Amino acid sequence: MLFNSVTYLVFLTVAVLVFWALPMAARRFWLLAASLLFYCWWDWRYGFLIASSILLNYLFGLLAADRSRKWTVVVAVAANLGALIYFKYLDFLAGSLNGLSQLIFDRDLAAVPHIVLPIGISFFTFQGLSYVIDIARGQIEARRSLVTVALYITFWPHLIAGPIVRAGELIPQFYSDSRRVRYSDIASGLQLIFVGLFLKVFLADGISGYVDEGFAAGSFQRNSALDNWTLAFGFGWQIYFDFAGYSMIAQGSARLLGIVFPDNFNFPYAARSPREFWQRWHITLSSWIRDYLYVPMQGLIAGQSRSRGGIEIAVDERMKSNARHRIGALIATWMIMGLWHGANWTFLAWGVWHAGLILIYRGLSLMSDRIGIRERINADGLLFSLGGCLITMPAAMVGWLFFRAPTLEQAFSMVARLLDVRAYGYLTYKENFYLITFLYTVGFFVAYASGRMIERKPVWWGTWGWLPKSIAYTAIVMLSLGFLRSQQQFIYFQF
């Protein structure tokens, strides 16, 4: 059941209407039933897997409440990651082993099992892990109700592709005393859903055909350097609008039920540094990786769990770990982050690329602090911000070549073409592709600047703001529904 389908809109309408018609005591049971139906809609056999995950993490949570049972977390991590490795990475590991054995022994050593990847497994595995770990850290209490834990893991708006919501953020909302329908929630939820649909069906799907053609095996070899830059930006916009659109539909669906999800995107391509980029892109994932992987790798204990984004730690915490440990933890974290997205060496390379960007940024920041550059300039000024953005954005876009290319050979070939001066003299695709990519880039920054201006609440906005908002939302609704007929799966569904 795709978010960008009429089937989902019907499902959501029925789920919301029945939810608000039921008494408080029955609502959690209804949400759990609807969530299980939503998940099993893809393939009912997956229901046994997610039910096993729920039961195991429920039991691990009860055991983790006893602080003396430190082994509980170790076993919980092993069980959750074991299932994830089996379903998501066994084919990759067998194929990689065979590739190595072909070089050495000229034959395969392992049979590739060709296991079907259960949808959403990367996301609900992280949800279950964070629940158990937060209990062991004393940040939340173990829940005695199996229904509550099951609903936390399966709640359908975040089940397939996030946002990755912490138990401490979500579970209390299931028990809120003020669980009455509010006009503000309905209005906000509908706005989020239709804006998300617009980003997906009109913008992301609108450029996907050009991107697919450019990365195709028979096309990329003839690409010019400008073609590859356009493809890097084109896919950067596609995955941003696709995933941000999904996240907004998820937020809107939850908001219709009176439940608030944390933001997952905040104009990431306006970031002034690689570090800030990951405070704006896939915020709930980067904060999860920070709290449950990056910080513990340095022998530190993460603070109160919160989905605020960024793989970074506080200054006082950095003083407790030496530079070598921080660098090692950063590289290892990003390698895992890359492989989390997919079982392919290209994703590992994408993770290493971002680790390199952050390490370069840290080195330059340290150097500028030592020679006093930051004291002589306004780091928050327009020129400094513009310069940082003009460096960070293309660097992030180049990384998408690794992410999107099907093989490392193709990815390195496309990146190498960017460095070939002779490859800048021609274009190979239709003019529409270059124009659309340019318009997406300009439109993004116009939207960002407009949002910043509206945040300052100019006088005229209070009087006339309803007019541009009405026009914009009317156009968004019409375009979203008009393009809803051609359904394309969300990119992050494969992860």
70-124 pLDDT, tens digit per residue, is 889 999 999 999 999 999 999 998 988 888 888 888 888 788 888 888 999 999 9
Rounded to whole angstroms, the Cα distance separating 346 from 368 reads: 33
Q: How far is CA 261 from CA 192, 222, 228, 306, in A?
A: 12, 44, 36, 12
pLDDT category of residue 203 using cuts at 50, 70 and 90: very high
- pLDDT computed for residue 470 by the predictor: 79
- pLDDT computed for residue 468 by the predictor: 76
Task: Please name the amino acid found at residue 189.
Answer: G
- pLDDT computed for residue 478 by the predictor: 83
254, pLDDT greater than 90: yes
pLDDT category of residue 312 using cuts at 50, 70 and 90: low
172, pLDDT greater than 70: yes
Give residue-wise pLDDT tens across range 299-309.
776 665 555 66
Q: What angle do CA 126, 128, 134 make, to 5 degrees?
A: 95
- pLDDT computed for residue 378 by the predictor: 64
272, pLDDT greater than 70: yes
Task: Give me the mean pLDDT over the 54-68 stretch.
Answer: 92
Rounded to whole angstroms, the Cα distance separating 130 from 134 reads: 6
Give residue-wise pLDDT tens across range 131-168.
999 999 999 999 999 999 999 999 999 999 989 999 99
Give the number of other CB atoms < 10 A from CB of residue 381.
10
Task: Give me the mean pLDDT over the 436-455 stretch.
Answer: 90
Q: Are residues 258 and 176 in contact, defined by beta-carbon separation less than 8 angstroms?
A: yes
pLDDT category of residue 475 using cuts at 50, 70 and 90: confident
Q: What is the CA radius of gyration of the chain?
A: 23
Give residue-wise pLDDT tens across range 6-58.
999 999 999 999 999 999 989 999 999 999 999 999 888 889 999 999 999 99
Q: Which of 205-209, 449-453, 454-458 has the lowest mean pLDDT?
A: 454-458
- pLDDT computed for residue 302 by the predictor: 62
Rounded to whole angstroms, the Cα distance separating 475 from 400 reads: 30
60, pLDDT greater than 50: yes
**Selected catalytic residue, list 158, 282, 341, 354:** 341
344, pLDDT greater than 80: yes
Q: Which residue has the higher pLDDT, 46 or 403?
A: 403
Task: Give me the mean pLDDT over the 246-259 stretch.
Answer: 96
471, pLDDT greater than 90: no
Task: Give me the mean pLDDT over the 332-361 stretch.
Answer: 95
485, pLDDT greater than 80: no
Q: Which three-class secondary structure string do you get for the chain? A: CCCCCHHHHHHHHHHHHHHHHCCHHHHHHHHHHHHHHHHHCCCCCHHHHHHHHHHHHHHHHHHHCCCCCCHHHHHHHHHHHHHHHHHHHHHHHHHHHHHHHHHHCCCCCCCCCCCCCCCCHHHHHHHHHHHHHHHHCCCCCCCCCHHHHHHHHHCHHHHCCCCCCCHHHHHHHHCCCCCCCCHHHHHHHHHHHHHHHHHHHHHHHHHHHHHHHHHCCCCHHHCCHHHHHHHHHHHHHHHHHHHHHHHHHHHHHHHCCCCCCCCCCCCHHHCCCHHHHCCCCCHHHHHHHHHHHHHHHCCCCCCCCCCCCCCCCCHHHHCCCCHHHHHHHHHHHHHHHHHHHCCCHHHHHHHHHHHHHHHHHHHHHHHHHHHCHHHHCCCCCHHHHHHHHHHHHHHHHHHHHHHHCCCHHHHHHHHHHHCCHHHHCCCCCCHHHHHHHHHHHHHHHHHHHHHHHHHCCCHHHHHHCHHHHHHHHHHHHHHHHHCCCCCCCCHHHHC
- pLDDT computed for residue 131 by the predictor: 97
Task: Give me the mean pLDDT over the 376-381 stretch.
Answer: 66
pLDDT category of residue 451 using cuts at 50, 70 and 90: confident
Query: Active-site residue 341, yes or no?
Result: yes
Q: Is the dihedral of CA 280, 282, 284, 285 positive or negative?
A: negative
- pLDDT computed for residue 486 by the predictor: 60
- pLDDT computed for residue 307 by the predictor: 57
pTM greater than the 0.85 cutoff: yes
- pLDDT computed for residue 348 by the predictor: 97
Rounded to whole angstroms, the Cα distance separating 407 from 405 reads: 6
469, pLDDT greater than 90: no
Q: Which of 54-58, 331-335, 448-452, 465-469 has the lowest mean pLDDT?
A: 465-469
Rounded to whole angstroms, the Cα distance separating 326 from 199 reads: 37
Domain limits, the chain: 6-180, 185-494
Rounded to whole angstroms, the Cα distance separating 3 from 11 reads: 10
pLDDT category of residue 315 using cuts at 50, 70 and 90: very low
